[in-house]
Amino acid sequence: MAKSSQVTWGGRFSAGPADLMLQFSESVTFDQRLALFDIAGSKAHSAMLAHVGLITAKERGAIHAGLDAIQAEIVAGKFTWETKLEDVHMNIEQALTQRVPAAAKLHTARSRNDQVATDMRLFFKHACAELAKKIAAAQRALLTLAGANRDVLIPGYTHLQRAQPVFLAHHLFAWLEMLERDRARLAEVAAHANWCPLGAGAIAGTTLPIDREFTAKALGFVDARGRPQVTQNSMDTVADRDLFIEFAGACALFGVHVSRIAEDLILWSSAEFKYVELPDAFCTGSSLMPQKKNPDSCELLRGKSARLQGNLHTLLTLTKGLPLTYNRDLQEDKPPVFDSFDQSALCAEVLAGTVGGITLHRDRCAAAVRDPALLATDLADYLVRKGVAFREAHHAVGAVVRLAEKNNVRLNQLAPDDVQAVHPAFGPDWLDVFDLQRALAKREGTGMPGPKQIARQFARWRKVLK
Protein backbone atom coordinates (compact mmCIF):
# COMPACT_ATOMS: atom_id res chain seq x y z
CA MET A 1 0.00 0.00 0.00
CA ALA A 2 1.36 3.42 -0.93
CA LYS A 3 2.04 5.70 2.01
CA SER A 4 2.60 9.43 1.87
CA SER A 5 6.29 10.04 1.42
CA GLN A 6 8.64 10.48 4.37
CA VAL A 7 8.88 14.09 5.59
CA THR A 8 12.63 14.47 6.01
CA TRP A 9 13.90 12.76 2.89
CA GLY A 10 10.70 12.09 0.92
CA GLY A 11 11.13 14.68 -1.83
CA ARG A 12 12.20 12.23 -4.54
CA PHE A 13 9.77 9.50 -3.47
CA SER A 14 6.22 9.03 -4.64
CA ALA A 15 5.39 6.59 -1.86
CA GLY A 16 6.52 6.12 1.74
CA PRO A 17 8.07 2.99 3.21
CA ALA A 18 6.00 -0.12 3.86
CA ASP A 19 5.01 -0.78 7.45
CA LEU A 20 7.27 -3.80 7.46
CA MET A 21 10.17 -1.67 6.24
CA LEU A 22 9.51 0.89 8.96
CA GLN A 23 9.47 -1.81 11.58
CA PHE A 24 12.63 -3.30 10.12
CA SER A 25 14.59 -0.10 9.76
CA GLU A 26 13.61 2.00 12.74
CA SER A 27 16.22 2.62 15.39
CA VAL A 28 14.37 5.04 17.61
CA THR A 29 13.47 2.25 20.04
CA PHE A 30 17.15 1.99 20.94
CA ASP A 31 18.79 5.23 19.83
CA GLN A 32 16.38 7.47 21.75
CA ARG A 33 18.85 7.18 24.60
CA LEU A 34 21.06 9.49 22.54
CA ALA A 35 18.44 12.24 22.77
CA LEU A 36 20.27 14.57 25.14
CA PHE A 37 23.50 14.25 23.17
CA ASP A 38 21.56 14.89 19.97
CA ILE A 39 20.02 18.03 21.44
CA ALA A 40 23.41 19.25 22.67
CA GLY A 41 24.77 18.68 19.15
CA SER A 42 21.88 20.57 17.56
CA LYS A 43 22.29 23.48 19.93
CA ALA A 44 25.99 23.75 19.18
CA HIS A 45 25.38 23.37 15.47
CA SER A 46 22.71 26.08 15.39
CA ALA A 47 24.90 28.37 17.50
CA MET A 48 27.60 27.91 14.88
CA LEU A 49 25.14 28.58 12.04
CA ALA A 50 24.24 31.87 13.72
CA HIS A 51 27.90 32.63 14.39
CA VAL A 52 28.73 32.39 10.67
CA GLY A 53 25.55 34.19 9.62
CA LEU A 54 23.70 31.25 8.06
CA ILE A 55 20.80 31.82 10.45
CA THR A 56 19.86 34.85 12.51
CA ALA A 57 20.40 35.18 16.24
CA LYS A 58 16.64 35.17 16.59
CA GLU A 59 16.33 31.92 14.71
CA ARG A 60 19.07 30.41 16.87
CA GLY A 61 17.23 31.60 19.98
CA ALA A 62 13.98 30.02 18.81
CA ILE A 63 15.72 26.74 17.97
CA HIS A 64 17.42 26.63 21.37
CA ALA A 65 14.20 27.38 23.23
CA GLY A 66 12.39 24.69 21.24
CA LEU A 67 15.14 22.16 21.92
CA ASP A 68 15.12 23.00 25.62
CA ALA A 69 11.36 22.41 25.75
CA ILE A 70 11.73 19.08 23.95
CA GLN A 71 14.55 18.09 26.29
CA ALA A 72 12.36 18.85 29.30
CA GLU A 73 9.62 16.65 27.85
CA ILE A 74 12.02 13.81 27.15
CA VAL A 75 13.48 13.98 30.65
CA ALA A 76 9.98 13.98 32.13
CA GLY A 77 9.08 10.96 29.97
CA LYS A 78 6.35 12.95 28.22
CA PHE A 79 7.81 13.02 24.72
CA THR A 80 6.09 10.81 22.13
CA TRP A 81 8.57 8.83 20.08
CA GLU A 82 7.33 7.84 16.64
CA THR A 83 8.69 4.76 14.94
CA LYS A 84 7.69 6.05 11.54
CA LEU A 85 10.22 8.85 11.98
CA GLU A 86 12.94 6.20 12.06
CA ASP A 87 15.44 7.46 14.55
CA VAL A 88 16.15 9.83 17.41
CA HIS A 89 17.49 12.51 15.07
CA MET A 90 14.37 12.78 12.95
CA ASN A 91 12.02 12.49 15.90
CA ILE A 92 13.60 15.50 17.53
CA GLU A 93 13.91 17.50 14.34
CA GLN A 94 10.28 16.85 13.43
CA ALA A 95 9.02 17.77 16.88
CA LEU A 96 11.05 20.95 16.68
CA THR A 97 9.77 21.78 13.21
CA GLN A 98 6.20 21.53 14.45
CA ARG A 99 6.91 24.12 17.13
CA VAL A 100 9.54 26.38 15.62
CA PRO A 101 9.52 27.46 11.95
CA ALA A 102 13.26 28.18 12.09
CA ALA A 103 13.83 24.47 12.70
CA ALA A 104 13.66 24.00 8.94
CA LYS A 105 17.11 25.60 8.86
CA LEU A 106 18.64 23.44 11.59
CA HIS A 107 19.88 20.74 9.24
CA THR A 108 21.81 23.28 7.15
CA ALA A 109 25.31 21.93 6.44
CA ARG A 110 24.63 18.79 8.45
CA SER A 111 23.78 15.18 7.69
CA ARG A 112 22.53 12.43 9.90
CA ASN A 113 25.86 10.78 9.20
CA ASP A 114 27.98 13.38 10.94
CA GLN A 115 25.16 13.93 13.43
CA VAL A 116 25.07 10.31 14.57
CA ALA A 117 28.86 10.20 14.69
CA THR A 118 28.76 13.25 16.96
CA ASP A 119 26.05 11.85 19.22
CA MET A 120 28.01 8.65 19.64
CA ARG A 121 31.27 10.40 20.40
CA LEU A 122 29.50 12.39 23.10
CA PHE A 123 27.99 9.14 24.34
CA PHE A 124 31.39 7.43 24.48
CA LYS A 125 32.94 10.27 26.46
CA HIS A 126 30.07 10.06 28.93
CA ALA A 127 30.01 6.25 29.04
CA CYS A 128 33.77 5.94 29.62
CA ALA A 129 33.64 8.40 32.51
CA GLU A 130 30.61 6.66 34.07
CA LEU A 131 32.15 3.20 33.80
CA ALA A 132 35.47 4.40 35.19
CA LYS A 133 33.61 5.78 38.21
CA LYS A 134 31.79 2.52 38.82
CA ILE A 135 34.95 0.48 38.41
CA ALA A 136 36.69 2.76 40.90
CA ALA A 137 33.87 2.07 43.37
CA ALA A 138 34.44 -1.67 42.96
CA GLN A 139 38.15 -1.10 43.49
CA ARG A 140 37.39 0.80 46.67
CA ALA A 141 35.32 -2.12 47.95
CA LEU A 142 38.28 -4.41 47.29
CA LEU A 143 40.65 -2.04 49.04
CA THR A 144 38.35 -1.96 52.06
CA LEU A 145 38.23 -5.76 52.12
CA ALA A 146 42.01 -5.87 51.94
CA GLY A 147 42.32 -3.29 54.71
CA ALA A 148 39.97 -5.19 57.04
CA ASN A 149 42.05 -8.34 56.59
CA ARG A 150 45.53 -6.92 56.34
CA ASP A 151 47.21 -9.69 58.30
CA VAL A 152 45.50 -12.62 56.55
CA LEU A 153 47.72 -14.97 54.60
CA ILE A 154 46.48 -17.39 51.97
CA PRO A 155 48.14 -19.74 49.54
CA GLY A 156 48.70 -18.25 46.12
CA TYR A 157 47.96 -20.69 43.29
CA THR A 158 49.44 -21.74 40.00
CA HIS A 159 47.68 -24.48 38.03
CA LEU A 160 45.11 -24.19 40.81
CA GLN A 161 47.62 -25.99 43.05
CA ARG A 162 48.85 -24.33 46.21
CA ALA A 163 52.06 -22.56 45.25
CA GLN A 164 53.41 -19.97 47.69
CA PRO A 165 52.01 -18.00 50.63
CA VAL A 166 50.87 -14.43 50.01
CA PHE A 167 48.93 -11.86 51.93
CA LEU A 168 45.27 -11.89 50.90
CA ALA A 169 45.83 -8.19 50.21
CA HIS A 170 48.45 -9.10 47.61
CA HIS A 171 45.91 -11.21 45.76
CA LEU A 172 43.29 -8.45 46.00
CA PHE A 173 45.83 -5.91 44.80
CA ALA A 174 46.37 -8.05 41.70
CA TRP A 175 42.68 -7.52 40.98
CA LEU A 176 43.10 -3.78 41.56
CA GLU A 177 45.85 -3.72 38.95
CA MET A 178 43.59 -5.42 36.40
CA LEU A 179 40.75 -3.01 37.07
CA GLU A 180 43.12 -0.05 36.99
CA ARG A 181 44.19 -1.02 33.49
CA ASP A 182 40.52 -1.17 32.53
CA ARG A 183 40.07 2.38 33.76
CA ALA A 184 43.13 3.50 31.84
CA ARG A 185 41.81 1.83 28.70
CA LEU A 186 38.48 3.61 29.07
CA ALA A 187 40.31 6.92 29.46
CA GLU A 188 42.12 6.14 26.20
CA VAL A 189 38.83 5.45 24.45
CA ALA A 190 37.42 8.72 25.77
CA ALA A 191 40.49 10.53 24.44
CA HIS A 192 40.00 8.95 21.03
CA ALA A 193 36.36 10.01 21.12
CA ASN A 194 37.35 13.61 21.74
CA TRP A 195 37.31 14.77 18.09
CA CYS A 196 34.29 16.54 16.63
CA PRO A 197 32.75 15.02 13.49
CA LEU A 198 30.28 17.84 12.75
CA GLY A 199 31.00 19.42 9.41
CA ALA A 200 31.84 16.15 7.70
CA GLY A 201 28.28 16.23 6.36
CA ALA A 202 27.10 13.09 4.63
CA ILE A 203 30.55 12.31 3.21
CA ALA A 204 32.13 15.41 1.66
CA GLY A 205 31.50 18.30 4.02
CA THR A 206 29.55 21.29 2.74
CA THR A 207 29.82 24.20 0.36
CA LEU A 208 28.53 26.51 3.07
CA PRO A 209 30.94 28.65 5.13
CA ILE A 210 30.73 26.75 8.44
CA ASP A 211 33.11 27.00 11.40
CA ARG A 212 33.92 23.47 12.58
CA GLU A 213 36.16 24.68 15.39
CA PHE A 214 33.35 26.76 16.84
CA THR A 215 31.08 23.70 17.06
CA ALA A 216 33.84 21.53 18.47
CA LYS A 217 34.51 24.04 21.22
CA ALA A 218 30.83 24.41 22.05
CA LEU A 219 30.56 20.63 22.51
CA GLY A 220 33.73 20.24 24.57
CA PHE A 221 35.76 18.50 21.89
CA VAL A 222 38.89 20.30 23.06
CA ASP A 223 42.39 19.33 24.14
CA ALA A 224 43.89 19.93 27.57
CA ARG A 225 44.58 23.55 26.63
CA GLY A 226 41.06 24.17 25.39
CA ARG A 227 41.92 24.06 21.70
CA PRO A 228 39.20 22.57 19.48
CA GLN A 229 39.76 19.12 18.00
CA VAL A 230 37.96 18.32 14.75
CA THR A 231 38.22 15.14 12.69
CA GLN A 232 40.53 15.45 9.69
CA ASN A 233 38.86 13.53 6.88
CA SER A 234 35.15 13.79 6.11
CA MET A 235 34.91 10.32 4.60
CA ASP A 236 36.68 8.62 7.47
CA THR A 237 34.56 10.63 9.89
CA VAL A 238 31.27 9.11 8.73
CA ALA A 239 32.65 5.64 7.99
CA ASP A 240 34.83 5.12 11.07
CA ARG A 241 33.52 2.79 13.77
CA ASP A 242 36.84 2.21 15.56
CA LEU A 243 35.53 3.83 18.71
CA PHE A 244 32.63 1.42 18.90
CA ILE A 245 35.05 -1.47 18.65
CA GLU A 246 37.52 0.05 21.10
CA PHE A 247 34.79 0.73 23.62
CA ALA A 248 33.32 -2.75 23.27
CA GLY A 249 36.87 -4.09 23.46
CA ALA A 250 37.55 -2.25 26.70
CA CYS A 251 34.27 -3.59 28.09
CA ALA A 252 35.04 -7.12 26.92
CA LEU A 253 38.41 -7.09 28.62
CA PHE A 254 36.87 -5.61 31.76
CA GLY A 255 34.42 -8.52 31.55
CA VAL A 256 37.27 -11.00 31.33
CA HIS A 257 38.85 -9.46 34.42
CA VAL A 258 35.58 -9.50 36.33
CA SER A 259 35.06 -13.08 35.27
CA ARG A 260 38.43 -14.14 36.63
CA ILE A 261 37.80 -12.33 39.88
CA ALA A 262 34.38 -13.97 40.10
CA GLU A 263 35.89 -17.39 39.48
CA ASP A 264 38.36 -16.94 42.33
CA LEU A 265 35.49 -15.92 44.59
CA ILE A 266 33.41 -18.90 43.52
CA LEU A 267 36.29 -21.21 44.40
CA TRP A 268 37.05 -19.42 47.65
CA SER A 269 33.42 -19.65 48.75
CA SER A 270 33.12 -23.39 48.09
CA ALA A 271 33.29 -25.83 51.02
CA GLU A 272 36.55 -27.13 49.58
CA PHE A 273 38.29 -23.77 50.14
CA LYS A 274 35.91 -21.86 52.40
CA TYR A 275 38.18 -18.82 52.64
CA VAL A 276 35.28 -16.41 52.24
CA GLU A 277 31.62 -16.07 53.05
CA LEU A 278 29.73 -14.26 50.30
CA PRO A 279 26.92 -11.93 51.35
CA ASP A 280 23.44 -13.47 51.40
CA ALA A 281 22.20 -10.43 49.50
CA PHE A 282 24.18 -11.50 46.43
CA CYS A 283 23.57 -15.25 46.66
CA THR A 284 20.55 -17.44 46.06
CA GLY A 285 19.27 -20.71 47.45
CA SER A 286 18.20 -23.90 45.78
CA SER A 287 14.53 -24.67 45.21
CA LEU A 288 15.26 -28.27 46.12
CA MET A 289 18.29 -28.46 48.42
CA PRO A 290 17.65 -26.44 51.57
CA GLN A 291 21.30 -26.26 52.57
CA LYS A 292 22.50 -24.61 49.37
CA LYS A 293 23.85 -21.09 49.12
CA ASN A 294 24.90 -20.43 45.57
CA PRO A 295 27.32 -17.71 44.44
CA ASP A 296 24.97 -16.47 41.71
CA SER A 297 26.28 -12.92 41.47
CA CYS A 298 29.76 -14.26 40.77
CA GLU A 299 28.48 -16.82 38.31
CA LEU A 300 26.58 -14.13 36.45
CA LEU A 301 29.63 -11.89 36.45
CA ARG A 302 31.44 -14.79 34.83
CA GLY A 303 28.57 -15.34 32.40
CA LYS A 304 28.14 -11.69 31.42
CA SER A 305 31.70 -11.63 30.13
CA ALA A 306 30.60 -13.95 27.32
CA ARG A 307 27.97 -11.43 26.32
CA LEU A 308 30.49 -8.57 26.38
CA GLN A 309 32.78 -10.54 24.11
CA GLY A 310 29.84 -11.27 21.82
CA ASN A 311 29.12 -7.55 21.46
CA LEU A 312 32.72 -6.90 20.46
CA HIS A 313 32.52 -9.69 17.93
CA THR A 314 29.27 -8.32 16.49
CA LEU A 315 30.91 -4.95 15.89
CA LEU A 316 34.03 -6.38 14.31
CA THR A 317 31.96 -8.50 11.96
CA LEU A 318 29.54 -5.66 11.21
CA THR A 319 32.36 -3.37 10.11
CA LYS A 320 34.66 -5.71 8.22
CA GLY A 321 34.27 -5.57 4.45
CA LEU A 322 31.98 -2.52 4.44
CA PRO A 323 32.81 -0.16 1.58
CA LEU A 324 33.47 3.42 2.58
CA THR A 325 31.63 5.35 3.76
CA TYR A 326 28.32 5.17 5.62
CA ASN A 327 26.14 2.13 5.00
CA ARG A 328 22.88 1.48 6.75
CA ASP A 329 24.37 -1.69 8.22
CA LEU A 330 26.08 0.70 10.61
CA GLN A 331 22.80 1.41 12.36
CA GLU A 332 23.32 -2.02 13.94
CA ASP A 333 26.38 -0.59 15.70
CA LYS A 334 24.39 0.85 18.59
CA PRO A 335 22.64 -2.04 20.37
CA PRO A 336 25.89 -3.93 21.11
CA VAL A 337 27.57 -0.77 22.36
CA PHE A 338 24.66 0.19 24.60
CA ASP A 339 24.46 -3.35 25.92
CA SER A 340 28.18 -3.41 26.66
CA PHE A 341 27.84 -0.16 28.57
CA ASP A 342 24.77 -1.24 30.55
CA GLN A 343 26.09 -4.67 31.40
CA SER A 344 29.57 -3.45 32.29
CA ALA A 345 28.07 -0.81 34.56
CA LEU A 346 25.94 -3.46 36.24
CA CYS A 347 28.90 -5.81 36.58
CA ALA A 348 30.97 -3.10 38.27
CA GLU A 349 28.14 -2.37 40.71
CA VAL A 350 27.45 -6.01 41.47
CA LEU A 351 31.14 -6.68 41.98
CA ALA A 352 31.30 -3.78 44.43
CA GLY A 353 28.20 -5.04 46.23
CA THR A 354 29.40 -8.62 46.44
CA VAL A 355 32.89 -7.70 47.59
CA GLY A 356 31.46 -5.21 50.08
CA GLY A 357 29.63 -8.01 51.90
CA ILE A 358 32.42 -10.58 52.02
CA THR A 359 33.63 -11.87 55.36
CA LEU A 360 36.75 -13.94 55.76
CA HIS A 361 37.02 -17.38 57.33
CA ARG A 362 40.36 -16.54 58.85
CA ASP A 363 40.78 -19.97 60.43
CA ARG A 364 40.42 -21.66 57.06
CA CYS A 365 42.90 -19.28 55.44
CA ALA A 366 45.38 -19.87 58.25
CA ALA A 367 44.98 -23.65 58.01
CA ALA A 368 45.49 -23.62 54.24
CA VAL A 369 48.58 -21.44 54.35
CA ARG A 370 50.15 -23.38 57.21
CA ASP A 371 51.26 -26.18 54.88
CA PRO A 372 55.09 -26.01 55.04
CA ALA A 373 55.32 -27.36 51.51
CA LEU A 374 54.34 -23.86 50.34
CA LEU A 375 57.82 -22.79 51.46
CA ALA A 376 59.70 -25.44 49.49
CA THR A 377 61.01 -22.73 47.16
CA ASP A 378 62.23 -20.74 50.17
CA LEU A 379 64.03 -23.89 51.30
CA ALA A 380 65.77 -24.08 47.95
CA ASP A 381 66.71 -20.39 48.33
CA TYR A 382 68.10 -21.32 51.78
CA LEU A 383 70.48 -23.78 50.11
CA VAL A 384 71.39 -21.18 47.48
CA ARG A 385 72.40 -18.84 50.29
CA LYS A 386 74.69 -21.63 51.49
CA GLY A 387 76.37 -21.65 48.09
CA VAL A 388 74.45 -24.49 46.41
CA ALA A 389 73.56 -24.00 42.74
CA PHE A 390 69.82 -23.42 42.32
CA ARG A 391 69.22 -26.48 40.09
CA GLU A 392 70.96 -28.68 42.66
CA ALA A 393 69.06 -27.01 45.51
CA HIS A 394 65.76 -27.51 43.66
CA HIS A 395 66.58 -31.19 43.22
CA ALA A 396 67.56 -31.63 46.88
CA VAL A 397 64.39 -29.98 48.15
CA GLY A 398 62.38 -32.15 45.75
CA ALA A 399 63.94 -35.19 47.37
CA VAL A 400 63.11 -33.81 50.82
CA VAL A 401 59.48 -33.29 49.77
CA ARG A 402 59.32 -36.83 48.45
CA LEU A 403 60.78 -38.16 51.69
CA ALA A 404 58.18 -36.30 53.73
CA GLU A 405 55.43 -37.72 51.53
CA LYS A 406 56.85 -41.23 51.92
CA ASN A 407 57.10 -40.89 55.71
CA ASN A 408 53.64 -39.30 55.74
CA VAL A 409 54.83 -36.25 57.70
CA ARG A 410 54.85 -32.56 56.97
CA LEU A 411 57.97 -31.14 55.42
CA ASN A 412 59.12 -29.48 58.64
CA GLN A 413 58.56 -32.65 60.69
CA LEU A 414 61.42 -34.55 59.07
CA ALA A 415 64.36 -35.42 61.30
CA PRO A 416 67.39 -33.14 60.79
CA ASP A 417 69.60 -36.14 60.11
CA ASP A 418 67.33 -37.36 57.31
CA VAL A 419 67.36 -33.94 55.72
CA GLN A 420 71.10 -33.62 56.00
CA ALA A 421 71.46 -37.02 54.42
CA VAL A 422 69.72 -35.64 51.35
CA HIS A 423 72.11 -32.69 51.11
CA PRO A 424 74.98 -31.77 53.45
CA ALA A 425 74.28 -28.05 53.10
CA PHE A 426 71.14 -28.41 55.24
CA GLY A 427 72.17 -27.04 58.63
CA PRO A 428 70.50 -27.04 62.06
CA ASP A 429 68.84 -23.72 61.14
CA TRP A 430 66.87 -25.25 58.25
CA LEU A 431 63.59 -25.11 60.23
CA ASP A 432 63.78 -21.30 60.45
CA VAL A 433 62.68 -21.27 56.80
CA PHE A 434 59.21 -22.36 57.87
CA ASP A 435 58.43 -19.28 59.90
CA LEU A 436 55.77 -17.70 57.67
CA GLN A 437 56.25 -14.13 58.86
CA ARG A 438 59.98 -14.35 58.30
CA ALA A 439 59.43 -15.95 54.94
CA LEU A 440 57.18 -13.11 53.78
CA ALA A 441 59.52 -10.49 55.22
CA LYS A 442 62.19 -11.74 52.83
CA ARG A 443 60.09 -10.79 49.82
CA GLU A 444 60.49 -7.05 49.84
CA GLY A 445 61.44 -6.34 46.25
CA THR A 446 59.09 -4.08 44.29
CA GLY A 447 55.90 -5.92 43.45
CA MET A 448 56.52 -8.74 45.92
CA PRO A 449 54.23 -9.77 48.78
CA GLY A 450 56.46 -8.70 51.70
CA PRO A 451 54.77 -6.71 54.48
CA LYS A 452 56.62 -3.49 53.64
CA GLN A 453 55.61 -3.80 50.01
CA ILE A 454 52.03 -4.45 51.04
CA ALA A 455 52.08 -1.32 53.20
CA ARG A 456 53.43 0.61 50.24
CA GLN A 457 50.67 -0.68 48.00
CA PHE A 458 48.02 0.18 50.58
CA ALA A 459 49.33 3.73 50.57
CA ARG A 460 49.45 3.83 46.78
CA TRP A 461 45.91 2.52 46.27
CA ARG A 462 44.48 4.79 48.95
CA LYS A 463 45.91 7.68 47.01
CA VAL A 464 44.85 6.44 43.58
CA LEU A 465 41.31 5.63 44.71
CA LYS A 466 40.64 8.49 47.12
**Active-site residues: which are they?**
159, 286
Per the omega criterion (within 30 degrees of 0), is the bond before 144 cis? no
Residue 155 host element (H or E): strand 153-158
Q: Please tell me whether residue 119 binds ligand ARG under the rule CB under 6 A.
A: no
CB 322 within 8 A of CB 329: yes
**Closest CB to ligand ARG among residues 304, 334:** 334
**Closest CB to ligand ARG among residues 87, 182:** 87
Angle at 78 between CA 76 and CA 82, to 5 degrees: 135
Q: Please tell me whether residue 426 binds ligand ARG under the rule CB under 6 A.
A: no
Backbone φ and ψ of 230, nearest 5°: -120, 145
Closest distance of CB 307 from ligand ARG, Å? 22
Q: Please tell me whether residue 330 binds ligand ARG under the rule CB under 6 A.
A: yes
Q: Please tell me whether residue 112 binds ligand ARG under the rule CB under 6 A.
A: yes
Task: Find the distance separating the first CA and the last CA of the chain, reported in whole Å.
Answer: 63
CA distance 118 to 197: 6
DSSP state letter for 15 = S
Scanning residues 267 to 326, which ones bind ligand ARG (CB under 6 A)? 326
CB 294 within 8 A of CB 269: no
CA distance 67 to 59: 12
- Which window, 108-116, 138-146, 244-252, 425-433, contacts ligand ARG (CB under 6 A)? 108-116
Closest distance of CB 242 from ligand ARG, Å? 16
Strand partners, 277: 359
Closest distance of CB 73 from ligand ARG, Å? 21
Q: Which of 172, 322, 175, 298 is nearest to 244 (CA)?
A: 322
Site string for ligand ARG, 383-422 (x = CB under 6 A): ----------------------------------------
Closest distance of CB 26 from ligand ARG, Å? 8
Closest distance of CB 41 from ligand ARG, Å? 13
CA distance 81 to 79: 6
Residue type, 141: A
**Closest CB to ligand ARG among residues 214, 326:** 326
**Closest CB to ligand ARG among residues 326, 341:** 326
Q: Please tell me whether residue 27 binds ligand ARG under the rule CB under 6 A.
A: yes
Positions in the binding site for ligand ARG (CB under 6 A): 27, 31, 87, 112-113, 116, 326, 328, 330-331
